[in-house]
Chain A
Amino acid sequence: MNGVRERLASRAGTSTAVVIAVLWTTPTLGLLLSSFRPEEEIKTTGWWTVLGTPNLTLDNYGEVLSGGGNGSGRLAEHFVNSVVITVPSVLFPLVLAFFAAYALAWIDFKGRDALVVGVFALQVVPLQMALVPLLRLFSQGWLFLPAWHLTGPARFGQIWFAHTAFALPFAVFLLHNFLAALPRDLIEAARVDGASHGTLLLRIVLPLARPALAGFAVIQFIWVWNDLLVALTLSGGTAETAPMTVRLASLAGTYGNEWQRLTAGAFVAALGPLLVLFLLRRHFARGLLAGSVKG
């Protein structure tokens, strides 16, 4: 009796999972299959017909990467931009937040608690709130800060700046939660042995914090690579500095018949995060879990 019921139960669970998995995968699969179909066929027949009469080509990828007649593809260039934007935008907040989190977790000084609360509280500020003044700061200067007057590749600098500043509150929060939970004895013992903060930071805390750092790096990579808002407002939108998301969004915005470019483009743009997610999936989960549940 119990055996039968258990088998039924697990079957109910399995079929729920299968239904959800199929619903969640089919839209992507359709787009992926389409991206390999000739332009004419994408626009006239559904992707499911490919199962009967497979007629596949790499033309869409070629076109979207190196550009058709009116420069409407050129995703390869934007791919480089995405890389140039993402690498520093992950590295900078990671290192700075690690420094800050260490100081807040393991150095006793007056006003520390207030500072912790203050930095955590900045998570509340949505980046929408900072964009207009930032744009003005970069172009005209503001208060005591001079204008940056950035042109050409130097525009990447302002994107790095924005992503780094926006990421810091959450990064400090995440890393602080992790660092503060490290065994007190370990740190104290090293202090008693005469280790300076520099030694402690690099030799003891850094190796221990690796899971949290990797977790944040993965999340931040996905967030920056996929970002559209900062890129739209601060990159200037040109092929010189705009990342792939901007290009793809503008392709999607042109009403009508860009399916052959959109389908291939969507997958080129997803290449970075997919690679990172599948290679570092464990770190991703751990990073998300750090500070929410012990996992």
Chain B
Amino acid sequence: MSFDAVAQQPKLLYLLQGVAAFAAVVSLVLLALHRGPVRRRAAALILLAPALALLTIGLLLPGLRTLALSFTDNGGDAWVGLDNYVWMFTDHRALVALRNTVAWVVLVPLTSTAVGLLYAAAVARSRFRTFALSLVLTPMAISFVGAGVVWKFVYAYRPAEAGQVGLLNQLVVAIGGEPRQWLVDPPWNVLFLVVAMVWTQTGFAAVLLAGAIRAVPAELTEAARLDGASPGQVLRRITVPSIRPTLLVVLLAQAVATFKAFDIVKTMTGGQFDTGVLAHEMYDQAFRYGETGRGAALAVLLFLLVTPFVAHQVRARRRTG
């Protein structure tokens, strides 16, 4: 099977049709807006209608429907009360996913923000800032799936007598240890997945924090330096307090992203060996096992857990914006 360019034409044609249809909708909106003196209410309605329709059909109603589904059985027909929620807090797999999610949400934002802060503080005023930030931002471009592949390769295992192809086991062998299957033994394997997630998120934190650090007046840190403060003290006493709002936004955004992430687990272990997280377990239940009700209950839990973080983030952003 080789690549057949002709076979791709229907897709590109469909793309053209889709964009053309959208352009027609946009033209209609603009036309309606231009025709005569439109009243304020009408103008607002014309501009808002497409977005509100999409939000209602694509997000609001489905969300409510999922809430209802979480009280039904796997076919979505019979009412089962709180059964799915009871399952969630009694089933081994679901509980493990819950435990892992808590570990992820504590470890990933804190670690990636801390490392991102150290890095940002070190490079924010350097000549190589752009290059340095690009280096840590690259994992984000590689995607969660790509990151999963990268780290599976780092953790790759070969028996002791064979040559190691994974970097981590090579290091272990080099200092005289036995190669290990890092992703197989719970609960430590969860930490090895967390490392991969932290790796993808640090660049995001570093870029935002470097921007904030550059907005801190240089005289402030210079003065502290002249007064004999060590770089660690300057970071703790001057930089961190000055950029606290950004730091908070970054932490919250990372937490929200971590709650919803499932790609790394999917790519690296498929949730085996007790490595599942809520978002991944939800996918498995709803789409692999056809347990719609359980999947919906997990989605509702995810929603409940994310809510305070998002609410806080929206408020924090508006305050600083």
Of B57, B149, B153, B268, which contacts A248 at CB under 8 A? B149
Q: In the complex the two chains form, is A166's CB within 8 Å of B59's CB?
A: yes
Contact assessment for B57 and A103 in the assembled complex, using a CB-CB cutoff below 8 Å = no
Q: Within residues 128 to 183 of chain B, which ones have a CB less than 8 A from any CB in chain A?
A: 130, 132-146, 148-154, 156, 162-167, 170
A145 and B141 alpha carbons, distance in the complex (Å): 37
Q: Once the chains are docked, how many angstroms separate the CA of A293 from the CA of B132?
A: 21
B58 to chain A, nearest CB (A): 3
A122 shortest CB reach to chain B, Å: 6
A105 to chain B, nearest CB (A): 11
> Is B104 part of the binding interface, using a Cβ–Cβ cutoff of 8 Å?
no
In the complex with contacts A125-B303, A132-B292, A259-B165, A24-B262 CB distance below 8 A: no
Q: Which of A230-250 contact B (CB under 8 A)?
A: 232-233, 240-241, 245, 248-249
Whether, in the assembled complex, B115 has its beta carbon less than 8 Å from a beta carbon of chain A, the answer is yes
| Interface assignment of B299: CB less than 8 Å from any CB of chain A | yes
| Chain A interface size, under 10 / 10 to 19 / 20 to 34 / 35 or more | 35 or more
Given contacts A27-B167, A31-B150, A229-B263, contact A122 B55 (CB under 8 A): yes
Given A88-B15, A232-B283, also A165-B211 (CB < 8 A):
no
Within 8 A of A (CB), among B176-213: 199, 202-204, 207-208, 211-212
Bound-state CA distance A280–B306 (Å) is 30
- Which of these, B10, B48, B66, B122, contacts A130 with CB under 8 Å? B66
Contact mask for chain A residues 143-178; partner B; CB cutoff 8 A; 1 contact, 0 none: 101000000111011001110111011001100010
Q: Looking at chain B's contact residues, is the secondary structure mostly helix, strand, loop, or mixed?
A: helix
Identify B44's interface contact among A48, A91, A109, A157, CB under 8 A: A109
Task: Pick the residue among B19, B121, B215, B279 that contacts A91 (CB under 8 A).
Answer: B19
Q: Confirm or deny: A14 has a beta carbon within 8 angstroms of a beta carbon on chain B.
A: yes
Tell me which residues across on chain B come within 8 A of A132, comparing CB atoms: 62, 65-66, 69, 286, 292, 295-296, 299
B165 adjacent to A42 (CB under 8 Å): yes
Task: Please give me the residue from chain A that is nearest to B298 by CB atom.
Answer: A128
Whether B33 pairs with A124 at a CB distance below 8 angstroms is no
Query: Which residues of A have CB within 8 Å of B307?
Result: 124
Contacts A27-B167, A100-B48, A252-B268 given: A88-B153 contact, CB under 8 Å?
Answer: no
Determine if A88 and B212 form an interchain contact, defined as CB atoms under 8 angstroms apart. no
- Interface positions of A (Cβ within 8 A of B): 2, 5-6, 9-10, 12-14, 16-17, 20-21, 24-28, 30-31, 34, 42-48, 65-67, 71, 74, 76-77, 80-81, 83-84, 87-88, 91-92, 95-97, 99-100, 102-104, 107-110, 112, 115, 119-120, 122-134, 136-137, 142-143, 145, 152-154, 156-157, 160-162, 164-166, 168-169, 172-173, 177, 181, 196-199, 201-202, 222, 225-226, 228-229, 232-233, 240-241, 245, 248-249, 252-253, 259, 262-263, 265-266, 269-270, 273-274, 276-278, 281, 284-285, 288-295
Asked if A2 and B226 sit within 8 Å, CB to CB, the answer is yes
Task: List 15 A-B pairs, Cβ < 8 Å.
Answer: A25-B135, A28-B142, A47-B165, A100-B47, A129-B299, A132-B69, A133-B61, A133-B65, A134-B62, A160-B18, A177-B317, A177-B321, A245-B263, A265-B149, A277-B138
- Which of B139, B267, B320 has the most A CB atoms < 10 Å from its CB? B267
Contact of A233 among B40, B287, B300, B302 (CB under 8 A): B287
Known: A81-B11, A165-B55. A88 touches B19 (CB 8 A): yes
* A252 with B149: CB separation less than 8 A: yes
Q: Determine, out of B22-30, B81-89, B95-103, the stretch whose residues face the partner at the interface.
A: B22-30
- Give the interface size bracket for B toward A: 35 or more
Interface positions of B (Cβ within 8 A of A): 1-3, 7-8, 10-15, 18-19, 22, 26, 29-30, 33-34, 37-38, 40-41, 43-44, 47-48, 50-52, 54-55, 57-63, 65-66, 69, 76, 115, 118-119, 121-123, 126, 130, 132-146, 148-154, 156, 162-167, 170, 199, 202-204, 207-208, 211-212, 214-215, 225-226, 228, 230-231, 243, 245-246, 249, 259-260, 262-263, 266-268, 270, 279, 282-283, 286-287, 292, 295-296, 298-300, 302-303, 306-307, 310-311, 314, 317-318, 320-321
B47 to chain A, nearest CB (A): 4
Contact (Cβ within 8 A) A153 B259: no
A77 touches B8 (CB 8 A): yes
A98 to chain B minimum Cβ distance, whole angstroms, is 9
Inter-chain contacts of B1 with A (CB < 8 A): 66-67, 71, 74
Complex CA distance for A154 and B14, rounded to whole angstroms: 7
B18 touches A21 (CB 8 A): no
> Which 3 A-B pairs give the minimum distances between C-beta atoms?
A165-B58, A226-B143, A130-B62
**Is the pair A102, B47 in contact by a Cβ cutoff of 8 Å?**
yes
Q: Are B141 and A273 in contact (CB under 8 A)?
A: yes
**A27-B151, A177-B321, A252-B148 known; A16-B311 Cβ under 8 A:** no
Chain B residues, CB < 8 A from A46: 163-167, 170
Q: A248 CB to closest chain B CB, in angstroms? A: 5
Rounded to whole angstroms, the CA-CA distance of A8 and B145 in the bound complex is 40
Known contacts A65-B3, A76-B3, A100-B48; A126/B299 CB under 8 A: yes
CB contacts (< 8 Å) of A281 on chain B: these are 130, 133-134, 137
